[in-house]
Amino acid sequence: MQSAQFKPKPSWLKVQLPHGNEWRHVEEVLASHDLHTVCDEARCPNKGECWGAGTATFMIMGDICTRGCRFCAVKTARRGGPLDPEEPRHLAEAVKSLGLRYAVITSVDRDDLPDRGAGHFAACIHAIRELSPDTKIEALIPDYTGTELAQVLAARPDMLAHNIETVRRLQSVRDHRASFNKSLQTLRAAHAAGIPTKSSLLLGLGETEDEVVEALEELQGAGVSSVVMGQYLQPTPKEIPVVEYITPEQFADYARKAKSLGFASVISAPFARTSFHAREAWVASREEAGA
């Protein structure tokens, strides 16, 4: 495939700037509690739409990641800063202040910590439960396994998300400590614990249609109930370039294929990201489970 690095973005990839007053309110609440969002750190294209609707995806454990995935603009270093013991409370207060019905919590990778931050993740879930009991919680976690994952699962998030990011052949775009199989292991364990699971794929990295379908089949086999597919967009010149811009029609075709495999929720569009329309995906998973 011809590289799209120097091509102008097609018309369907024009980002709408934030508008209205609600997104400013979200920004003020986050700043007052010294919280980070993946919306800013990962330069998500949906910030205008999501913040305009009064929602955000919170990023805990600081803004420095110990991994160096080649597609990601989040700052990296061998060690992150010390964990803030007040962060769970601040996060819960922000969720309550914003009146969120559905909160997404994600994090940087913290391989420098003994439990890679799993206990802190669980503490944030517990804090929200205590202060805002009606808020549904989605945990978008690193590739936790074993006792790390058990800590998060014991906190009983309403949805457990972990991303495979891309197809098997292209896993080298991730940090070398990540792998397709390890991600499937995390998702299988969460599914076995009775928690709805979600994963996502960034497209336009050079994958083939057959490889996308194979990845979807493996996710389905791991018990994943919700899948998200979106266009990879090069955040800065430092990250790997886009190989191909996937058309909206191709995204729609992938959605049809995913639905035919039996996923409860499929979100497939150029700007789709893991936490985009997250509450809708959770509702669909609940309906599938008959809850």
pLDDT in tens, 197-212: 999 999 999 999 999 9
Residue 289 and residue 77: Cα distance in Å, rounded? 41
Give the list of residues 6+ apart from residue 65 with CB closer than 8 angstroms, or none. Answer: 72, 74, 75, 76, 77, 80, 108, 109
Residue in 183, 138, 153, 154 with CA at minimum distance from that of residue 283: 138
Asked if residue 111 is part of any domain, the answer here is yes
Asked if residue 32 is part of any domain, the answer here is yes
The residue type of 249 is E
Asked if residue 237 is part of any domain, the answer here is yes
pLDDT in tens, 124-164: 999 999 999 999 999 999 999 999 999 999 999 999 999 99
Whether pLDDT at 59 is above 50: yes
Structural domain containing residue 171 = 14-286
pLDDT in tens, 243-279: 999 999 999 999 999 999 999 999 999 988 877 666 6
| Predicted pLDDT at 159 | 95
Q: How many independent structural domains does the chain possess?
A: 1
Question: What is the average pLDDT score of the chain?
Answer: 86
Asked if residue 9 is part of any domain, the answer here is no
| Predicted pLDDT at 10 | 86
Query: What is the percent of the chain where pLDDT is above 90?
Result: 67
Asked if residue 6 is part of any domain, the answer here is no
Q: What is the DSSP letter of 27?
A: H
Residue 178 and residue 190: Cα distance in Å, rounded? 18
* Long-range Cβ pairs for the range 279-283 (8 Å, 24+): 279/101, 279/102, 279/136, 281/159, 281/198, 281/226, 281/228, 282/102, 282/136, 282/138, 282/158, 282/159, 282/196, 282/226
Asked if residue 135 is part of any domain, the answer here is yes
Indicate which CATH number applies to the domain containing 33.
Answer: 3.20.20.70
3-class state of residue 184 by DSSP: helix
Asked if residue 93 is part of any domain, the answer here is yes
The pTM is what? 0.87
| Under 8 Å between Cβ of 42 and 72 | yes
| Predicted pLDDT at 4 | 46
Residue in 116, 141, 136 with CA at minimum distance from that of residue 200: 141
Residue in 76, 44, 48, 47 with CA at minimum distance from that of residue 62: 76
| Predicted pLDDT at 3 | 45
Phi, psi of 261 (to 5 degrees): -80, -15
